[in-house]
Amino acid sequence: MTRAARTALFWTALPLLVAGCVPPPGEPAPQPTASPQPAPAEAPRPVSAPAPPVPEGPRDFELQGSAVQGGAMLGRAPGGTRALTFDGEAVPLGGDGRFFIAFDRDAPTTARLAATLADGRTVERTLMVAPGIWRIEHINAPYRGSASSDADFRRRRPAELEQIAVARAIAADAEGWRQRFIWPVQGRLSGFFGSQRVYQGKPGSYHGGTDVAVPRGTPFVAPADGVVVLAAHQPFTLEGRLLIVDHGMGLNSAFLHCDTLDVAVGERVVQGQRLGTVGSTGRATGPHLHWGIKWRDARLDPGTLAGPMVR
CATH number of residue 108's parent domain = 2.60.40
278 vs 195, more confident: 278
In a domain, 50, yes or no: no
Do 38 and 70 sit in the same domain of this protein? no
Domain that holds residue 244: 3-9+27-42+134-306
Chain mean pLDDT for the chain: 83
Do 222 and 113 sit in the same domain of this protein? no
Q: What whole-number percentage of the chain has pLDDT above 70?
A: 75
Residue 139 pLDDT greater than 90, yes or no: no
Do 205 and 249 sit in the same domain of this protein? yes
157 vs 176, more confident: 176
- Looking up residue 36, the CATH number of its domain turns out to be 2.70.70.10
In a domain, 209, yes or no: yes
Identify the domain boundary among 128, 146, 165.
128
Residue 151 pLDDT greater than 90, yes or no: no
pTM beyond cutoff 0.85: no
**What is residue 285's predicted lDDT score, i.e. its pLDDT?**
86
Do 80 and 112 sit in the same domain of this protein? yes
pLDDT tens track for 205-232:
678 899 999 999 999 999 999 999 999 9
**3-class SS letters over the chain:** CCHHHHHHHHHHHCCCCCCCCCCCCCCCCCCCCCCCCCCCCCCCCCCCCCCCCCCCCCCCCEEEECCECCCEEEEECCCCEEEEEECCEECCCCCCCEEEEECCCCCCCEEEEEEEECCCCEEEEEEECECCCCCEEEECCCCCCCCCCHHHHHHHHHHHHHHHHHHHCCCCCCCHHHCCCCCCCCCEEEECCCCEEEECCEEEEECCCEEEECCCCCEEECCCCEEEEEEEEEEECCCEEEEEEEEECCEEEEEEEEEEECCCCCCEECCCCEEEEEECCCCCCCCEEEEEEEECCEEECHHHHHCCCCC
Do 36 and 84 sit in the same domain of this protein? no
Domain count for the chain, please give it.
Answer: 2
pLDDT tens track for 67-78:
999 999 999 999
**What is residue 14's predicted lDDT score, i.e. its pLDDT?**
38
In a domain, 228, yes or no: yes
139 vs 78, more confident: 78
Range with the largest mean pLDDT of 107-116, 125-134, 191-200: 107-116
